[in-house]
Structure 1
């Protein structure tokens, strides 16, 4: 099973899809319990037009030969098996992404026949009819449960028999911890280094602050590339935004400190006042020296 794509909101899986029905017209008067036939015989027989109601681009494996199996039992029971790759839609809610769990559905039913003609049922009951391959793992999810249901859905004004299976998926956190959470945390810590840089080293503090802000912006934009353009914020967006605020706050803090502590340090408008006082003081000293010299000469 997989991949599960959040951007296109669908999932793919490779499965053996097996159907069983009874057609008394095909009952055999032979000693053998069943007969396996070539798949081309299916073109001359009736079989249910089963489709995946929420399916997308799916296909039957054809290499090196069509992966299909067809068998008729002596009592007219027909067994039909195919190996399919199914792509089905999965409406996801991503408010808690990447701390979310998703419930993806697969609906199986007839395309043309209503409940008056065809009724679908799970062969071994709703609990045992879906088997998961032993040791199957997904790269980003844990498959928790696969409950099955029998439904009746109205399609084109007529009730249809539908089989449903739900895939409960819980997302792994490892990828996001390594690629998003830890880098954002380290950038916030790196932005705090400017607190220990000398206040006079303006270029160093501005360069450090600008670098961390741009890096946080890049991480935030890159994170959104894997998601659909939803109208709400995810949990990861909120985390990145908070980290961005912390990084931006270090630059604002430096600007505030630099502005409110520059008075009396020979900077800005205070420098003009300081120079004016120096010039005035020098003029007073020169006047005093001239008066002293005049008095001494007298």
Structure 2
């Protein structure tokens, strides 16, 4: 019994000694955290999964006079001193690549450096896809501290920023900003002290124009060949129309991985839907003109085909303008 009591007292002594200086320094005033968030690379932006992959370097400085007094700078474990418990709010699967420790100078100046690589969540509105612009955010927060206890400021010596060249080629960065910003986990919760880097990027739509839009325009135009075939050749007309429809269906399956899977319609979805309806209308019109030709109304069928040569291209132009240019 006595041995257990001595062990318990020993554990309490060790615990009190270990956590004696874990409280926040300068408890009467807010602790200033000089912050740096620098994105060294963005590997991928996954619109469908609402996330992006990035390589991020962070650096935080603060002063803790209780750690002063050593003859030279030293490193200490992160559980041996107070720290603001900084976390990345929108992290998903990330990996630390630097050792976890604090650098402490002789005057009590503390530096924490870390490099993260992995996935970060990012809500995106894709209604303008593929002509959209998005904001990519790295949001950090001091868990359990508000602005009365911890204040984030931009580090003037090591400013936040973004690398000049990024791996992702589909996006062009237009601007970025870094500032202290409060974080509220819910609408009714107290705001926590935080800091974020916000990257504004525009999608380069040329890839989708070449890979999706132009081939789709060619498939739709191929369906118009029926308007130059004699209505009496109904077999040829129907064969071309059905072949075009099957080609369009196969093409839509092939581009499925290139189009974000969202519950609402994007600009590209409207264009694909309009193009599909046009091909379907062409097939219906072929059936109508074929029946007219069989009913000895060949001239009416030819007249419909002639008018269709103008109407259908005009319809496609209107669909394209409405889908992509808000006309």
State the TM bucket, normalised to the shorter chain.
0.7 to 0.9
CA deviation after TM superposition for structure 1 residue 69, in Å: 6.4
> Cα deviation per residue 1:67-122 (whole Å; 9 max; x = unaligned)?
55642222211111111014222111111110111123222111223333322222
| Correspondence for 1:228 | 261
TM-score for both structures, normalised by structure 1: 0.76
Provide the C-alpha distance between the structure 1 equivalents of 2:226 and 2:294, rounded to a whole number of angstroms: 18
| Correspondence for 2:248 | 216
Provide the C-alpha distance between the structure 2 equivalents of 1:249 and 1:145, rounded to a whole number of angstroms: 45
Provide the C-alpha distance between the structure 1 equivalents of 2:199 and 2:87, rounded to a whole number of angstroms: 18
Aligned counterpart in structure 2 of residue 96 of structure 1, from 128, 134, 149: 128
CA deviation after TM superposition for structure 1 residue 250, in Å: 2.0
> Cα deviation per residue 1:198-223 (whole Å; 9 max; x = unaligned)?
33433332222112112323434554
Mean Cα deviation higher: 20-29 or 109-118? 109-118
CA deviation after TM superposition for structure 1 residue 46, in Å: 2.0
| Correspondence for 1:21 | 62
CA RMSD across the alignment:
2.5
| Correspondence for 1:83 | 115
User: Quick one: structure 1 residues 15 and 200, their matched pair in 2 at CA, closer, same or farther if it must change by over 3 Å?
Assistant: same
Contact in 2 for aligned 1:69/1:82 (Cα 8 Å): no
| Correspondence for 1:151 | 181
| Correspondence for 2:325 | none
SS at match of 1:170: strand
SS at match of 1:121: strand
Gaps of 5+ in 1: 266-298
Aligned counterpart in structure 1 of residue 90 of structure 2, from 49, 54, 63: 54
SS at match of 1:71: strand
Provide the C-alpha distance between the structure 1 equivalents of 2:266 and 2:183, rounded to a whole number of angstroms: 33
SS at match of 1:240: helix
- Is 1:138 paired with 2:168? yes
| Correspondence for 1:179 | 211
Contact in 1 for aligned 2:141/2:183 (Cα 8 Å): no
User: Quick one: structure 1 residues 221 and 201, their matched pair in 2 at CA, closer, same or farther if it must change by over 3 Å?
Assistant: same
Structure ID, larger Rg: 1
Provide the C-alpha distance between the structure 2 equivalents of 1:233 and 1:154, rounded to a whole number of angstroms: 31
User: Quick one: structure 1 residues 123 and 178, their matched pair in 2 at CA, closer, same or farther if it must change by over 3 Å?
Assistant: same
CA deviation after TM superposition for structure 1 residue 23, in Å: 0.8
TM-score for both structures, normalised by structure 2: 0.70
User: Quick one: structure 1 residues 193 and 155, their matched pair in 2 at CA, closer, same or farther if it must change by over 3 Å?
Assistant: closer
CA deviation after TM superposition for structure 1 residue 154, in Å: 4.2
